[in-house]
Structure 1
Amino acid sequence: MHSIDAYRAHLEQGSFDDQFRLIHSCARIEESRERMRNLLHGMLENFGPTKICLASAPGRTEMGGNHTDHNHGHVLAAAVNLDCLAAFSKADSNVVTIISEGYNPIKVDISDTEPREDEYETSAAIVRGVAEGFRKLGLNIGGFNGCVHSTIPAGAGLSSSAAFEVLVGRIFSYLFNENKVGPLEIASVAKQAENIHFNKPCGFMDQMASSYEGILSIDFTNPDNPGVTRVDPGFKSKSYADGFYGTRYRLCVIDTGGSHADLTPDYAAIPEEMFQAAKCCGQKQAKGLTLNRILENIDDIREAAGDRAVLRLLHFLGEDERALKQERALHDGDMTEFLRLVAESGHSSSNLLQNCYSPATPKRQPIPLALTLTEQILGSHGVGRVHGGGFAGTIQVYVHESDFERYSRAMKNIFGEHSVIELAIRQPGHEFLTIPQKRTEP
């Protein structure tokens, strides 16, 4: 940890630019500098001169495995260059105080880490929940002061809440546990904080992707201890300036608008129907089922859970296998096959999983509209699919660089000036921004 003045001096000398390139991309360096200036100013203004450190936790994008994690399937996910960035210092008490631009200050006394109903769906609940998770694992916790800034748009399907949970976990690890808490432990604590303290049911993918970083193939056969394989795409160039891992494609999500507030029943129905259908086949979840088993029990499934449950089960079977095929295509550097599988995944989500719009509001269909327009505008020069939970929010699109500007203008004209969010994949190993060590002469 160093003084605020030391961080400021190195910032103005450009000492952090290489780190900014790695975690935020080349195009965002000026933005990164300004964010850091504001965080340093906020720490000095709110907490006085003190020794601090800076931590970052990324958002994530789902590349394959739409709604497979909750039924113990495979997921392909990646950390992205949008993040929660924090400057922080140790406090003299058990109180965590966080100042975040655009939000009310958070002040949580973690002497008491029990869940509170009056904190449901608040940032305070996340802080208390992460502290509770550390305590239950026998890890150390304590108070800290922090200033936070996020570039992850809320409600855009890029997991802003998971990034904040992982960020708090990284701060507790750094300040009170010699920075030795592993990514699986932090992800597990983060998920429990969201499920119990924040009171939001969710799978495990978001927290895993944010905590591990890079591109991950995740096997949720054992949901408490998922198998994690890092995917190193077989493309020649891996510069952030060269599109999606050196290919001639650029990765983005399109925020189609719409609120997730009234969609909890739609989200909950997907795993519940899969569970009901699997039960008719003699299992607790969809993982391990085959097409023959489903066909043998299809009458029972239709009677107990309905036709949509059969379709959703068929989506799971295809999507679970498809996520592994996408991993292999990336590893082999086969972009054509990878994009073919992305398109296949999108069609399965639309036709079988049926999570592109809510049946309660059939006149509002921004995701099908965005997907159809993407296909019309790009033709063979791009592929789109529903992103994340669905029903409202974002689509994910791989756009050939020759068409990106034209496509971007069209989407902004329809869905708003800030609807197009370009992404880069963030690699692991840059959880903290450190002052570079002085080089010694040989």
Structure 2
Amino acid sequence: MATSAQVRDEILAGKWDETLGALYGGGAAELRRQRARYAAALEQFELYFGPGRQVRLYSAPGRTELGGNHTDHQHGYGLAAAVTLDLIAVASPSDDGFIRVKSRGFNKLDVIDLSEPEPQQGESTHSASLIRGIAEGFRALGKETGGFDAYTASDVLRGSGLSSSAAFEMGMAVVLNGEYGCGLSGPEMAKICQYAENTYFGKPCGLLDQLTSAVGGVIFANFADPCAPEIEKIHAAGLLPEGVTLCVTDTQASHSELTGEFAAIRREMEAVAACLGQNVLGQVLETAFWQALPRLRTQCGDRAVLRAIHYYQENARALAQKNALQRGDFAEFLHLIRANGHSSFEYCQNVYCASDPRHQGLSIALALSQSILEAGGGAWRMQGGGFAGTIQAFVPAPLLEAYCAAIEGVFGPGSCYRLKLREQGAVQIGSEM
């Protein structure tokens, strides 16, 4: 291990360029940006935790959903890709039994006393609850852990649908895993992070976001057995054909305060399953659902029924998307992207909040995208939990500049991000990786 100052000097001298290039792409401008970003994080670590500390660096990517919108928590399929927007952490172990984390952009220091493993009053929905839950998840597996001090800096847009929460969770998990030599695999850490978000943070999320951040590349997952999901990694290299750019638009409205709206989707889908004698829709044959439609409308309400229809159709599309990618049929993949976007709008109804119809940023972004891309062979969809946040578009090269200009004309400069996919999941990084 080296001190924070030594690592910073190495990075600024270009000694880590090969590692940074593997994570973010090797363009000169991007390497300059990442050198400065890491150097700033190391300086901030020293500011909060003192100079002369030996440190390690960690990275956990955000993710973009490609298919399977709100299907994973019903034991269905999911398709997602890791992106080069990530959370980085500078970390050093401590021997006092406390975890202290300072995150860029937040005016607080999370301090977690590891002698208090249970959820703490008033801590739910805050980052400290995630850290505490992750530490307890390691202990529950019999892993010896301890305290650490860390400074984090995230490029993953908060509340945007790129899963800043999963990147933060996986960042904390990979720090514990690396600092204390726990030897857990990416999927094992992802399950711990889901447990922390469900039990300590209080959000009933599925597992796809954490898995994608943990494993990297493009992930197709079958959650029929959520305790042991079947995971298939599709390598990101060459996935997007030449001349197509994956863009994500931040509609400037965070979905981070919409936990209740997300929870209602899962609750309503599971109410339909319960009427058919099962816990989740993945355990209910689709034919049985359609046969019971009149009764389900009466007992569960029409929105719950429509969200169940979305589940069955979206689940089939996620599998079809994976098959299209593997056989190189990108035109069919884009056709399916457009179809699952319409399903989220019409059936899952998670593009805007019915309680706040004056604000429909996602709807506007989708309509604008359609007006520009429809004739040119592009595709567009909402991504993530919904109600606010981001949309996704696959933009052909001849339309790229016009598309970005139109989007930023409505949502502001810098709102349209041109994403790159990332092969690596959450990792401890160094001069050799």
Output the TM-score relative to the length of structure 2: 0.94
Amino acid at match of 1:40: L
Q: Is the 8 A contact 1:280 1:297 kept in 2?
A: no
Q: Is the 8 A contact 1:64 1:75 kept in 2?
A: yes
Amino acid at match of 1:219: N
1:332 maps to 2:334: no
1:93 corresponds to which of 96, 100, 104: 96
Residue number in structure 2 paired with 1:241:
none
Instruction: Supply the distance in 2 between the matched residues of 1:436 and 1:304 (Cα, whole angstroms).
Output: 59
Residue number in structure 1 paired with 2:206:
203
Shift of 1:290: 4.1
Q: Is the 8 A contact 2:212 2:425 kept in 1?
A: no
- SS state of the match for residue 61, structure 1? strand
1:53 maps to 2:49: no
CA separation of 1:429 and 1:184: change in aligned 2, threshold 3 A: closer
1:34 corresponds to which of 33, 36, 56: 36
Q: Is the 8 A contact 2:20 2:34 kept in 1?
A: yes
Moved more, 40-49 or 394-403: 40-49
Instruction: Supply the distance in 2 between the matched residues of 1:279 and 1:43 (Cα, whole angstroms).
Output: 50
Instruction: Supply the distance in 2 between the matched residues of 1:365 and 1:430 (Cα, whole angstroms).
Output: 34
Residue number in structure 1 paired with 2:179:
175
Shift of 1:28: 2.5
Q: Is the 8 A contact 2:235 2:423 kept in 1?
A: no
Listed one character per residue, the Cα deviations across residues 404-442 of structure 1 (whole Å, up to 9, x for unaligned) are 1111111111011132122111112671221249xxxxx
Residue number in structure 1 paired with 2:21:
21
Amino acid at match of 1:68: T
Shift of 1:165: 1.0
CA separation of 1:246 and 1:47: change in aligned 2, threshold 3 A: farther
Amino acid at match of 2:63: R
- SS state of the match for residue 117, structure 1? coil
Moved more, 33-42 or 66-75: 33-42
Instruction: Supply the distance in 2 between the matched residues of 1:291 and 1:174 (Cα, whole angstroms).
Output: 44
Instruction: Supply the distance in 2 between the matched residues of 1:353 and 1:122 (Cα, whole angstroms).
Output: 27
1:158 maps to 2:162: yes
2:187 corresponds to which of 184, 193, 205: 184
- SS state of the match for residue 118, structure 1? coil
Instruction: Supply the distance in 2 between the matched residues of 1:72 and 1:66 (Cα, whole angstroms).
Output: 12
Instruction: Supply the distance in 2 between the matched residues of 1:171 and 1:331 (Cα, whole angstroms).
Output: 34
Instruction: Supply the distance in 1 between the matched residues of 2:116 and 2:276 (Cα, whole angstroms).
Output: 45
Q: Is the 8 A contact 1:4 1:51 kept in 2?
A: yes
Instruction: Supply the distance in 2 between the matched residues of 1:87 and 1:265 (Cα, whole angstroms).
Output: 33
CA separation of 1:115 and 1:62: change in aligned 2, threshold 3 A: same
Amino acid at match of 2:205: C
Listed one character per residue, the Cα deviations across residues 240-283 of structure 1 (whole Å, up to 9, x for unaligned) are xxxx6343211121111324366333322222222222233333
- SS state of the match for residue 370, structure 1? helix
Instruction: Supply the distance in 1 between the matched residues of 2:184 and 2:432 (Cα, whole angstroms).
Output: 23
Residue number in structure 1 paired with 2:349:
354
- SS state of the match for residue 245, structure 2? strand
Instruction: Supply the distance in 2 between the matched residues of 1:338 and 1:180 (Cα, whole angstroms).
Output: 37
State the aligned residue count.
428
Instruction: Supply the distance in 2 between the matched residues of 1:155 and 1:217 (Cα, whole angstroms).
Output: 23
Shift of 1:232: 3.1
Measured on the aligned residues, the alpha-carbon RMSD in Å equals 1.9
Instruction: Supply the distance in 2 between the matched residues of 1:424 and 1:408 (Cα, whole angstroms).
Output: 16
Moved more, 257-266 or 127-136: 257-266
- SS state of the match for residue 97, structure 1? strand
Moved more, 63-72 or 244-253: 244-253
Q: Is the 8 A contact 2:71 2:311 kept in 1?
A: yes
Runs (5+) with no aligned partner, structure 1 = 239-243, 438-442
Q: Is the 8 A contact 1:381 1:403 kept in 2?
A: no
Listed one character per residue, the Cα deviations across residues 313-365 of structure 1 (whole Å, up to 9, x for unaligned) are 22111111111111111111211111011011111111121211111122322
Q: Is the 8 A contact 1:47 1:145 kept in 2?
A: no
Output the TM-score relative to the length of structure 1: 0.92
Residue number in structure 2 paired with 1:251:
246
> Between the two proteins, what is the percent identity of the paired residues?
37
1:62 maps to 2:58: no
Runs (5+) with no aligned partner, structure 2 = none
Listed one character per residue, the Cα deviations across residues 17-43 of structure 1 (whole Å, up to 9, x for unaligned) are 222222223353222111111122223
Instruction: Supply the distance in 2 between the matched residues of 1:71 and 1:273 (Cα, whole angstroms).
Output: 11
1:112 maps to 2:116: yes
Listed one character per residue, the Cα deviations across residues 207-259 of structure 1 (whole Å, up to 9, x for unaligned) are 111111111001111112211101136xxx63xxxxx6343211121111324
